[in-house]
Structure 1
Amino acid sequence: MLSKEILYSFNLSGDIVPLSGGQKTSVKVSNAVLKPVDDIQHSEWLLNIIYNIIPQGGYRVSKPIRSKYGTFVSNGWACTQYEVGKDVKGRIEEKLLVSKLFHRDLSFINFRNFPHTDNPWSKGHRIAWQIDKLPEELPRETQEIINKLLSRVSLKEQYKVQIVHSDLSGNILFDHVLSPLVIDFSPTIAPVEYAEAILVCDCIAWQGSNISGIDLLPDNELNKEMIIRAIIFRLSVSAIFSKGDYLKFCQEYQAFEAILEYIK
């Protein structure tokens, strides 16, 4: 629950207004947005990045607000400035441009001290990059589908990696006047091409974009690999959340299946 003490720690007062989108846990109070966080160390690290990043044009970010105690997280809640913007389905080309600009500015961030996390999304990334294996308790059919995809990729000796936003498709908000707004920073360490593949695949699978959106990514082996890894990531997260419900997992697989057929 969002207590008076938490509002006080961020110098806030006023009505608490629930916000739609994401995990539906964010609320607006005055000109700020508050969101509960699970991993305090990880949240402090990534919010510090957003706090210090200076957009060089073409996009906006919601700057974190420090608490009275100098931290970005207070009693399990983080706070950012409220910025106007609306979630819009599709618009892959525009979102890819924002991705390029945002990742250009992130490329200067030192990620050597990137904190380890252990949630379904971080596990999904590690499975997609063949660091972790699939949980053994998953249904055999689920494991067969994901392992078949894993057999289509192999790790190279060298990738150009940096910190990236791995969930951009629904986290770029648009406004008629202002530049697009990047929200809900979901960091991982990977090639920018991986983040862009996730963006495009999500728009096609979840937002009704045309399959030809794949053609907005350069037609080469690296991007084909990134597309497959992006789908492995999403399917691994789905498998973890479905908790043995193969039919539920299949619905997610079917959403991405057309992409796999398209890039064969």
Structure 2
Amino acid sequence: MTLRMTEPPASVLAALRLTGAPRPLAGGQGESFRVGNAVLKPVDNTEEAEWCADVFAGLTSSTEFRVPRPYRADDGNHVVAGWAAFEFVEGQEGPAGAWATLIAAGRAFHRALRHLPRPDLLDRRQHPWAVADRIAWGEVSSVALAHTDGLLATLQELQRPVDAPSQLVHGDLTGNVLLQPGQPPAVIDFSPYWRPVGYAEAIIVADGLLYHHAEPELIDNVLPGRHGLQMLVRALIFRLATSAIFEGPGKTIPQEELARFARVIHLVEERMHADHHFDT
């Protein structure tokens, strides 16, 4: 992925009524800038960015979570020349081991989304994360991917049907909940999917086990039983397929990355094999 370090132009700041010099921010894939009390990021999909901003504008922060308010230009649009701006919110990025807080914030956030209908724009997305999500749910099969040393096939063999209602969920909460003492967790950078809430939580668990040194007990605490394990299988397919798409067809995912997935898959298999009714 190519990172763009170009700062937002003066015309964008003027349209959003922002003043001051843009300052680069850590995170946001190296593309975020702060201007006054606003954070600006370039957007790749204007339709999705406008819709996400409208969702956040309609949410009310509570004692359980808060969201940054989007800025709107005089013409009513949230996106100006490929840039969107949200209110700057204080908080520390990353889970930092606060898994219970992160899961609770996600559940409160998802309760606030339950009334919203499924947007048609989800069907039009073709970015790697959207394609990987469809792979995880068996909705596409013929996608050119990097080699995964058989791990993707192993995960797909572990899949069983699940029966759970879908709704709007944030599919990338792990690094997008900011923690600040004395304030509710802040949910940022909405990545919308129409899936069960348990799938969004399973992505958090997968990220924790893969990249944040979480203990295996996180699986049992957040995703108990066969249903939870099936959500975790899909979350692992989602993350592995995303890596394989970015790596590119004909190549192989780095061994260090494959070793992470192999270790977590083993944890899943252990729990499945302990369930004598797994194949029923």
Q: TM-score, normalised by structure 2?
A: 0.88
Counterpart Cα distance in 1 of 2:196 and 2:246: 25
Q: Which runs of 4+ in 1 moved over 4 A?
A: none
Q: How many residues align?
A: 260
Q: Does 1:3 align with 2:6?
A: no
Q: Secondary structure of 1:70's match?
A: coil
Q: Does 1:24 align with 2:27?
A: no
CA contact (8 A) 1:163 1:190 kept: yes
Q: Does 1:126 align with 2:134?
A: yes
* Runs of 5+ consecutive residues of structure 2 not aligned to the other structure: 1-5, 270-280
Q: Secondary structure of 1:86's match?
A: coil
Alignment of 1:67-216 (within 5 A): 67-88=73-94, 89-115=96-122, 116-136=124-144, 138-139=145-146, 141-142=147-148, 144-156=150-162, 158-216=163-221
Counterpart Cα distance in 2 of 1:247 and 1:133: 19
Q: What's 1:230 paired with?
A: 235
- 1:112 is displaced (CA, Å) by 4.5
Q: TM-score, normalised by structure 1?
A: 0.93
* Runs of 5+ consecutive residues of structure 1 not aligned to the other structure: none
Q: Secondary structure of 2:23's match?
A: strand
Q: Secondary structure of 1:87's match?
A: coil
State the Cα deviation string for residues 151-185 of structure 1 (Å, max 9, x = none): 211344x4300000001111111111211111111
- 1:219 is displaced (CA, Å) by 1.7
Q: What's 1:49 paired with?
A: 55
Q: What's 2:68 paired with?
A: 62
Residues 24 and 109 of structure 1: CA distance in aligned 2, closer, same or farther (over 3 Å) = same
